[in-house]
Homo-oligomer: A and B are copies of this chain.
């Protein structure tokens, strides 16, 4: 009987636990969860804070009882304090403060990531909040409820920052987003990030790019935020959402090696350098299928996959993580922005020669009512024609996100841009065209590529 101990009750940990129990009913799975919120959808936090999700508990992918019904032992509000790899034990601190040691045959670290705190004067003032876990969420929710701030300044224009901007607009606040980089949503190319920023502006969000926050000071019953370019803005609420770094203290203290951005080094079987110790999710490196090398891409989708593989291997499997291709999507107001693969900058960083071609297409036949334009940017390898990535910006409700998944499936298989035209994609006039926009975008790329090859020849 395998004793499988997992530290961390979020996506990777739960997926591993469920998979291990699914494959081996004899496996004894113990899940150590630092808070009271196992298996919560942290991607859903903005929708709770906006008021669209009524109860924080609704954000649970599964309830504790559902997890336990799978034969998984849940240790809530337990903190793993030390790993003893020689004796194969994890020391935990119980809710009552006492410590005990849990023996393991297999151990998974799914300790996730923590918010990066901006190093600036005033970042620890009341009214300044980080946002990553459920604890942060409940603290902020209480502040919103009790203090009823009229305005908010969000430091960081990534996914969470942008989603929180919409959430706070939804609650009636005046919202400013401040991003240090030249564009928000740096997972998209800068000009596409600009389209996303424009959608937020259209809905009343003030978006400041190329702006660094320098200090936060108390001012009356609010805060005064100072930044580069003469920024001086009063806000009753400041959110700091500038990114996350892997939480690796427990594992590193036990000798687990870390690599990119400080994440645990793992094999594609999710093994660390310690025998029988796996790591998965936001605390671990992510093998990137397009570059063929490790990266750090902390995402729930990846955490679920890596956790599932770790769980399978913990009970005797030999499965390899097939890699991320960097797929992400976001809905902001009426817009969906989705991306997959490598873009120009990523490709150059991977020493590849990218060619990106934009084209615009109707989401369905224009004669059928309600057709909307979407912008598709296809990135391919200039010397081989291999597909490297795609970005799509379009209206909510036009199947943008699952269209990017067609590119993601093609990337998974190493297809060339031209090969997209061979896919037998669905068509009916209210939903597509005989060549889907994905294929018309591939054709636009091919035409440009052939023109360039013609010139070079």
- Residues of chain A touching chain B, judged by Cβ–Cβ distance below 8 Å, are 11, 22, 41, 43-44, 47-48, 52-53, 58-59, 61, 289, 299-305, 308, 322-331, 336, 338, 340, 365, 367-369, 396-397, 399, 401-406, 408-413, 419, 421-432, 434-436, 447
Question: In the complex the two chains form, is B424's CB within 8 Å of A301's CB?
Answer: yes
Contact assessment for B421 and A301 in the assembled complex, using a CB-CB cutoff below 8 Å: no
Complex Cα–Cα for A368 and B405 (A): 21
Q: Which 10 A-B pairs have the closest CB atoms?
A: A402-B402, A322-B422, A329-B426, A409-B409, A58-B367, A399-B402, A325-B424, A327-B424, A401-B431, A300-B434
- What is the copy number of this chain in the assembly? 2
Point out the residues of chain B lying under 8 angstroms from A301, CB to CB. 424-427, 434-435
Residues of B within 8 A of A404 (CB): 426
On whether the beta carbons of A429 and B322 are closer than 8 Å, the reply is no
A435 and B304 contacting across the interface, CB-CB below 8 Å: yes
Q: Known: A399-B399, A430-B331. Contact between A423 and B447, CB under 8 A?
A: no
For residue A401, which residues in chain B have a CB less than 8 angstroms away from its CB? 399, 426, 428, 431-432
- In the assembled complex, the CB of A203 is this many whole angstroms from the nearest CB of chain B, namely 15
A289, B419: Cα distance in complex, Å: 14
* Interface pair A300/B427, CB less than 8 Å apart: yes
Check B41 against A326 for contact (C-beta < 8 Å).
no
> Pick the contact of A47 from B367, B403, B408, B427 — CB < 8 Å?
B367
B305, A421: Cβ atoms closer than 8 Å? yes
Q: Are A340 and B426 in contact (CB under 8 A)?
A: yes
CB-defined contacts of A423 to chain B, threshold 8 Å:
405, 408-409, 412
| Bound Cα distance A404, B402 (Å) | 9
Asked, given contacts A41-B365, A53-B367, A421-B308, whether A426 binds B402 with beta carbons under 8 Å apart, the answer is: yes
Cβ A367 vs Cβ B41 within 8 A: yes
Residues of B within 8 A of A365 (CB): 41, 43-44
Query: Closest chain B residue to A52 by CB distance?
Result: B369
Q: Are A368 and B412 in contact (CB under 8 A)?
A: no
> Of A304, A325, A396, which is in contact with the most chain B CB atoms at under 10 Å from its CB?
A304
Give, as a whole number of angstroms, the nearest-CB distance from A192 to chain B. 15
Q: Residue on B with the closest CB to A323? A: B424
Report the minimum CB–CB distance from A315 to chain B (whole Å): 13
The closest CB in chain B to the CB of A56 belongs to B367
With CB as the reference atom, state the residue of chain B lying closest to A320.
Answer: B422
Chain B neighbourhood of A408, CB < 8 A: 423-426
Known: A52-B369, A365-B44, A369-B52. Is A405-B425 also a contact (CB below 8 A)?
yes
Cα-based distance from A44 to B367 in the complex (angstroms): 8
Shortest Cβ gap from A300 to chain B (Å): 5
Distance of A44 Cα from B371 Cα, bound (Å): 14
- Nearest chain B CB to A320 CB, angstrom units: 9
Complex alpha-carbon distance, A369 and B44, angstroms: 12
CA distance A82 to B43 in the complex (A): 65
A428–B44 Cα gap in the complex (Å)?
Answer: 8
Contacts of A338 in B (CB 8 A): 426
A368 in contact with B432 given A301-B427, A404-B426 (CB within 8 Å): no
Partner of A304, one of B304, B329, B429, B434: B434
B405 touches A331 (CB 8 A): no
A408 to chain B minimum Cβ distance, whole angstroms, is 5
